[in-house]
Every structure is written in C-alpha cells, then in structure tokens.
Structure 1
Amino acid sequence: MSHDERTFVMAKPDAVQRGLIGEIVSRIEGKGLKLVAGKFMRIDEELAHEHYGEHEGKPFFDGLVEFITSGPVFAMVWEGDDATRQVRRLMGATDARDAQPGTIRGDLGNDLGHNLIHGSDHEDEGANEREIDLFFDDEELLDWDRDASTWVYE
C-alpha cells in the first residue's frame, strides 16, 4: 500500500454537539495520518440520500437521513499508509456498546445511533473516492509535505 491512500471521515452531528471534533482529529493525527481536507458544513437531504444511497429502502434509512441532517458535521479527508483500514480500527465497532476501549467509539460513544464518526469502508472498493467526490472538489484536497512523515513511516 502506498503512503498516499486517501480516506473520507466525518465527525457526525453528535460529535459536533458534544465538542469532540478536536479529540477525533487529534486521535487520527496521533496515528500519523495527514489531514488533506476539512469542511465544517450542514448536510442537506439530497446529499444525505446520495451518501447513504446503498441503505435506501431499509427500515433504518429515514432515521439515518434525519440524524445526519440534524446539525453540522465536520467532513475530512485523511492521507497515509493504509489510511482507510487505520481509521476503521481507530473508530471501533459501529455499535459503540461493542467497541473496544481505546477506540473513538469505545471511549466516547454510547450506542448505535449516536456513534460519533463515519469512515469509508475499506472492504467497499471505490467507497473512498465516491465519498470524497461527494463532499469535496478537487481543489479542496491539498497536497503538502509534512516534515514529521519521516518519523511516522520507515
């Protein structure tokens, strides 16, 4: 895996309301990943339907849309070696009650509905690109060199 894999991550409305954006960013930065885009925004219904399109028709779909549009989110793109898998491990299990201590959801989350963070699925090929394209224009993705990278990867 190259050092420049990019992955989409979002601090959901519950994380924003609880003041956890900094904590989430800090944990991902601490892992050695590099932030290449960030946007504080509200998701409208149309974007929510596009983002959660694969769940349309499922019983929980309307609740997902209602929740993700209920308040601001912080959308991000992170870059690093095996970035998607690393973020998924940092996030913890989808249901915060099942998430391991030490993970974002395990330490800070309380249940399935309010699970603080979304990250692209490493098992869904194309998920990162699709989600990044939904939330960011190409010119919003910054290429930059972090001096500390030599201390993160061999």
Structure 2
Amino acid sequence: MSHHDERTFVMVKPDGVNRGLIGEVVSRFEDRGLQLVGAKFMQIDEELAHEHYGEHADKPFFDGLVEFITSDPVFAMVWEGADATRQVRAMVGETDPAESDPGTIRGDFGLDLGHNVIHASDHEDEGANEREIDLFFEEDELVDWTRSGTTWVYEDAE
C-alpha cells in the first residue's frame, strides 16, 4: 500500500464525453501506472455543480460553468498512486489548452478555455482532492485493491 499513498479526483467533462475521449483518458492514466479505484458515468445536477464550483460563485463566468457541466454526462474517477495529484496535473496540462504542451490531454484534445475536456484536482489546493472525492463518491464506491504487476511500475516494490 505504500506506493498507493495518494488518491486524486479526475473528471472527463461533457465535451470530452461527447467527443468519445473517456477511453483515451483512462488509457493514459493506466499507461502511466496509476490505478483506478472509482469511476462513475453520471449527470451532474445544478446542486452538485454549485458545490463543485463554489469557489467561483461570484465570478462572471460561473453561470456558464454550471450550464456547461450540467449539459451532458461526465465521467468522474478517482485514481491512486505515488504523488498521484501532481502526476495527473502534469498529464492534464494547463487550464487553457492553448498553453498546454502537446502530449498533455488538453494539449492534444482541448479546443478552448471553456471546453478543456477534463477536470483534475489542484495539487496546490490543500484538501481539494478529499473535498472533490467526497462530493462525487461514497466511501463504499471506492475499491481498495492492488494492481498485479506493480512490481514493474515502482522500482522499490516488493
């Protein structure tokens, strides 16, 4: 369990779902050696959207954000691994796809700031992960397991 010391929240947004990118996103995290511990294909309602984006409530773009995230289904996930949040953020790219490097999810698939395919917990926001995981998942929806083959993922694995 020592290698799976961090869980992080990730969500394919409605634009990514509509563009058929769920499998691509999952594959990239699996390829990286991260382990999926929870996933849910769901429709976000207005209440959940308001909770999720609460920090932006007073910003001019808030209503558009809520409208977009509730427009179609999302694919919410929890990934686990060493330094998972930072790893995922590096793979996701910058908030603005135009500033994201090729090879990142947003750099490869993002079209504009509003429709940037994916949400990932911020590694600089202490507690963001737990808050977002608790918002989207019940404790019993997360599976505690060890992927076989982790010997080949971490060099100091048993």
Q: TM-score range by the shorter chain?
A: over 0.9
Mapping of residues 38-53 of structure 1, within 5 Å: 38-53=39-54
Cα offsets for 1:25-69 (capped at 9, x unmatched) = 001111110000000000000000000000111011111101000
Look up the match of 2:64.
63
Look up the match of 1:146.
147
Give SS of 1:43's match: coil
Shift of 1:3: 2.8
Give SS of 2:108's match: helix
Give SS of 2:149's match: helix
Cα offsets for 1:93-126 (capped at 9, x unmatched) = 1111111000000011111011000000000110
Mapping of residues 3-152 of structure 1, within 5 Å: 3-152=4-153
Shift of 1:9: 0.2
Cα offsets for 1:1-36 (capped at 9, x unmatched) = 953200000000000000000000001111110000
Give SS of 1:147's match: coil
Shift of 1:149: 1.1
- Considering only aligned residues, what root-mean-square deviation do their CA atoms show, in Å? 1.0
Distance, in Å, in 2 between the alignment partners of 1:34 and 1:52 is 26
Distance, in Å, in 1 between the alignment partners of 2:154 and 2:82 is 8
Percent identity reads 75
Distance, in Å, in 1 between the alignment partners of 2:59 and 2:134 is 24
Name the aligned partner's letter for residue 9 of structure 1. Answer: V
Number of matched pairs: 154
The 4+ residue runs of structure 1 with deviation greater than 6 A are: none
Give SS of 1:112's match: coil
